Structure 1
């Protein structure tokens, strides 16, 4: 018999709700259902809160259909659903990326005569942005403003949604307009706007907003700085990126592996290996526990430096940490072995990848092809190309490019035409290299045929 069985007052339903909520949070939904059944048998009737708790649990730990079926049970019990019931269902649909279903639930709520609240409209706006309907989201926003039901979260959703849909300028204008009307932005507001500005490569505006952020008395967090730092590196403003890194350190922010890897990867891409090594030492000395992304970044660094033994040593360290190397990890190793001229080792590692069941390993094979071509082993590369079951545009581009490097323009033209007929594309620079190369060796007619094939391929859907 349940411990709350002796209670027969109105307090019993409250205690039942507490019990059901605790069981649901512990993911013991069957026990929660049993508690409800026992309560009914004892005359302790559930109310709308009881069923809303069940709806939320099923949305989180089961399917939306099961959660929705609770509404029928509420109807049978004579308990009408309220706005919380539908908000919970709509939120559950959003979490499962069922955005169209969320809109259907919102319409059903209106048909049942249930008035949406501010949270309902916030969820609706988020759905419309996710579905790529910013104009409709803006219409809902205006309706909320007219009814004076705006919540700080509403502004955050609006700014974030505009940024993600490519309307960064509108988001910045809205932000400025809100400031003039006394709105005090939250950390989430600043982060959403700064992230949008950075993705749009509007670094000056992002830096300006970041500076304002600090002047408001709020504390930009590590996410804010990392976002701007990443944008600096993408815009190839490495000195500014490193300045932000230094500022973060001076402010005492605790770095995670992502922030360090962002810096290291940027240094590697620009060939600043010494600085990358210094950041690695900084990461190790700070006691950051590397994750797989961190290890992959370090392996890439060591391979670029020709330190293959250190890179292979990290493979053992990854396993020692209880992590599993992914396809990208092994691809970096294959590329490093190729750059070192160890093609036998690269082939063995490809075979090892196959034994691990990674599938086609197309990126790794492309690295191997490119390495062979650049090392002058073009015939070996062609034999491998012929037996490859899976190919993509990069595969064809690599082969055509390296055939041009070897001045084998006729062969390159045949591979290029084959590529276009298969529906793939080769980089325009490589296409031009084939045409110019054919002309240079006296095959002007063949060059015209290739050029015509390229033009025809552009009109094929």
Structure 2
């Protein structure tokens, strides 16, 4: 009895040290315990294996098996479950399968957790078919699946892009009397939303309401984000309103998403109200939140408040990023304050904010709109990185001042180099050449567009 008690105390000490990630101390306690006559058991080594898998690595954890065998202790199902979970953590599906085979060869019978962990490993490693084979083997071995098993299957199918198959599985389970949990509904709704199946997601949401479960903040946030991504802002705002009316507290990301949607809809009053709610909740603002607020003020033309927020960022522990300055540059350009926008771009470069492509695109567009195409061309030539919006802004600007020949030459060069040119810019240049009766140039440009479209050599 004394040895059992001391072994239990040894296990408690080792477990406490492992939770604190002090594996060196845990090993020292194990050595001292053996020296004092407190022999370790399978629980002792399982605790160490779990800790090594979590904090060190699967190889170091596996090496403990040799120590177990030397001590005459046989690994059990918990031992291999921990090792398989460790291989899953490090995305080693082949190692997980090897451990599973070793487990069978040593006479250890896998349990439900073994199969669930192995399925999760196959899904996260990108092998959904193999995961389903594991499930079939689980059934063949008469290991009874639980709600966790089915949730693992549904979650894995959703994350591997097979949300429709997950929905079919869910329907089949319902016909067999499967009683889904709230987490099951949330997982399925999230998967359908990511697959752009908004209609199916909303149907599951209605079924959730009829099931007796109360949708939580995760449910509402998932559907709301899906609505916004699909461009259905009104529906997204209705979901957000329903969530708030039920007393749920939204996170900062949800607030920022809603504020951005309201700004895009031109509902600035509601955007300001939502911003005040976010600030009054005492939520800690990160740089993404500041960028959202700066975007809101810039869109409204209240750049003094946007600059005040920029000052707050600089005085805090946060650091402004390329998007922060790009939003402000774009705001000044829209107001026609090109010189101030240029100064802001220069300040952005001095602070080393990285790529300023978005800001440069905004400035080129602003320069073209005020007719200063020469400065726009100079900025364009100085840019190392360009995207389709860069070319489109310059081409539209050249068309505006009637420099269709120059626009045509730039576009032909882009097309020959495989650079994508927006259709709106193509139409503007072609229409300008035709209007000025430059038929030969228009025909040459149209031929280049046709060749680029069908990937033909110039």
Does the aligned pair in 2 maintain the 1:55–1:70 contact within 8 Å?
yes
Q: CA deviation at 1:404?
A: 4.0
Q: Which residue of structure 2 aligns with residue 243 of structure 1?
A: 238
1:298 CA drift (Å):
0.9
How many angstroms does 1:437 deviate by? 4.0
Q: 1:225 is paired with a residue of what secondary structure? A: helix
Paired residues of 1:103 and 1:127 also in contact (CA < 8 A) = no
Counterpart pick for 2:301 among 286, 297, 306: 306
Offset at 1:300? 0.7
Instruction: Check the 8 A contact 1:438/1:447 in 2, yes or no.
Output: no
Distance across 2 between alignment mates of 1:110 and 1:406: 78
Q: 1:257 aligns with which of 246, 252, 256?
A: 252
The range that moved more, 298-307 or 159-168, is 159-168
Q: In the TM superposition, what is the alpha-carbon distance from 1:393 to its structure 2 partner?
A: 4.1
Q: CA deviation at 1:111?
A: 5.1
Aligned to 2:121: 127
Following superposition, the deviation at residue 181 of structure 1 comes to 2.1
Contact 2:87 2:96 in 1 (8 A): yes
> 1:197·1:206 contact (CA, 8 Å) conserved in 2?
yes
Distance (whole Å) between structure 2 residues aligned to residue 34 and residue 160 of structure 1? 41
Matched residue, 1:196: 191
Shift of 1:225: 0.6
Match of 1:93 in 2: 87
Inter-partner Cα distance in structure 1 for 2:109 and 2:400:
70
Equivalent residue runs for 1:258-273 within 5 Å: 258-273=253-268
Matches within 5 A, 1:34-433: 34-99=28-93, 101-110=95-104, 112-146=106-140, 147-433=142-428
SS class of match (2:3): coil
Structure 1, unpaired ranges of 5+: 1-6
What's the CA shift for 1:452?
A: 4.8
How many Å separate the matches in 1 of 2:418 and 2:94? 34
Please state whether the residue corresponding to 1:9 is helix, strand or coil. helix
Taking a change above 3 Å as real, the CA distance of residues 327 and 77 of structure 1, as seen in their structure-2 partners, is farther
CA displacement 1:135-188 (0-9 Å, x = unmatched): 332232233344242121111121122223333222222212222322221121
Which whole-Å CA distance do the structure 2 matches of 1:205 and 1:174 have between them?
A: 14
Cα distance in 1 between the residues matched to 2:106 and 2:281: 58
With the length of structure 1 as denominator, give the TM-score of the two structures. 0.88
Change (3 A) 1:246 1:390: closer
| Greater shift in the superposed pair: 289-298 or 318-327 | 318-327
Aligned Cα RMSD in Å?
2.8
Q: What TM-score comes out, normalization by structure 2 length? A: 0.88
Q: Is contact 1:417–1:453 with CA below 8 Å preserved after alignment?
A: no
Matched, 1:22 2:20: no
- Stretch deviating more after TM superposition (450-459 or 184-193): 450-459
Report the CA distance between 1:53 and its aligned residue.
Answer: 1.9
- Distance (Å, rounded) in 2 between the aligned partners of 1:38 and 1:416: 78
Distance 1:99 1:349 in 2: 50
1:220 aligns to what SS in structure 2? Answer: coil
Q: Give the count of matched residue pairs.
A: 454
Deviation of 1:306 (Å): 0.7
> 1:258: Cα distance to partner?
1.7
Does the 8 A contact of 1:86 with 1:109 survive in 2? yes
